[in-house]
Amino acid sequence: MEITGKTKIMFVLADPIDHVRASAVMNAYFGSIGDDLAVSPIHVLPGDLGHVVASIRLMRNVFGFGVTIPHKTCVTEHLDDMTEAARRIGAVNFVKRTAEGSLVGDNLDARGFIVSLAQHDVAVRDRKVLQVGAGGAGRATAFGLAEAGARELMIMNRDKEKARALAAAVAAHYPATKVSAGRAEARAFDLIVNTTSLGMKPDDPLPLDIEGVGPDATVSDIIVHPAVTRLLARAAAQGAKVIGGKPMLDAQMALVAGFIAR
């Protein structure tokens, strides 16, 4: 693609950055709909996040930026406004820069995740779900699962207090879903979801033990790269249905376009 002074510029803020695939997916999507827009990853350390966001305010041809690990919750401190969904979740994965330089955050992870499940004929309503992780992506996923009608949602996380806080927040908004924090055997659930970063590196341990998980269960990993994590490979070998992270990312492209246009 040819990038000129008329091209709309967007970034993806991350640390580390070698796992980022959103920029390639977004460039392909916007190219396919004829939109003159270019997206680039930007390596931003946590301590520099505020400075980078402040600089983006001054870049008049920048229309927004995506946000990924580890900035999804911390970036909220540097924004002017958030959508109701992002405020409820407490994390942002996309920010729109207005013509005046204001920054408005949204969270498209939850909607993208639920759409990706539906595209693979996986229903959430009335299902028992085990989620690993309570970070920025985990918050969005938990709220999305409850909104989609999960009967039960168990949240596992290394930081137990963080898991309990997320469970309480989701339960307060969706009392029809039985939400709890703790540990449980994966075999007791219909849907198992990894929202942690464990699996990005070849030597990462499995985020949880899936012994006994088989054909009656679905295992989802929101990691985009690698496309097949160790968790998904193990689950597939045991006969479970598996869904990687790229469908979730793909499902967000139309949502990003709509958010920019508003």
CB-based contact 155:168 (threshold 8 Å): no
pLDDT at 166: 97
CA dihedral over 29, 39, 49, 256, signed as positive or negative: negative
CA atoms within 13 A on the CB side of 14: 18
CB-based contact 96:63 (threshold 8 Å): yes
pLDDT at 53: 98
**pLDDT tens across 49-81, in order?**
999 999 999 999 999 999 999 999 999 999 999
CA dihedral over 249, 254, 257, 259, signed as positive or negative: negative
The model scores a pTM over 0.85: yes
Q: Is it the case that residue 30 has pLDDT exceeding 90?
A: yes
| 213-240 mean pLDDT | 97
**pLDDT tens across 164-190, in order?**
999 999 999 999 999 999 999 999 999
Least Cα distance to 220 among 157, 137, 163, 126 occurs for 137
Place 8 in a pLDDT band, splitting at 50, 70 and 90: very high
pLDDT at 59: 96
Residue 187, CA distances (Å) to 89, 139, 215 in order: 28, 23, 11
Beta bridge partners of 131: 155, 193
**Burial class for 130, CB neighbours closer than 10 Å (0-12, 13-18, 19+):** buried
Place 260 in a pLDDT band, splitting at 50, 70 and 90: confident
Written as six digits, the tokens of 63 are 């229309």
Least Cα distance to 258 among 83, 141, 4 occurs for 83
Residues noted as catalytic = 72
pLDDT at 124: 97
**pLDDT tens across 115-167, in order?**
999 999 999 999 999 999 999 999 999 999 999 999 999 999 999 999 999 99
Helix 136-147 × helix 109-119 angle, to 10°: 60
CB-based contact 70:15 (threshold 8 Å): yes
**pLDDT tens across 197-212, in order?**
999 999 999 999 999 9
pLDDT at 213: 98
pLDDT mean across residues, the chain: 95
pLDDT at 1: 75
CB-based contact 105:72 (threshold 8 Å): no
pLDDT at 19: 85
| 5-16 mean pLDDT | 96
3-state secondary structure of 184: coil
Q: Rounded distance, CA 176 to CA 147, Å?
A: 9
Q: At residue 9, what are phi and psi to the nearest 5 degrees?
A: -105, 140
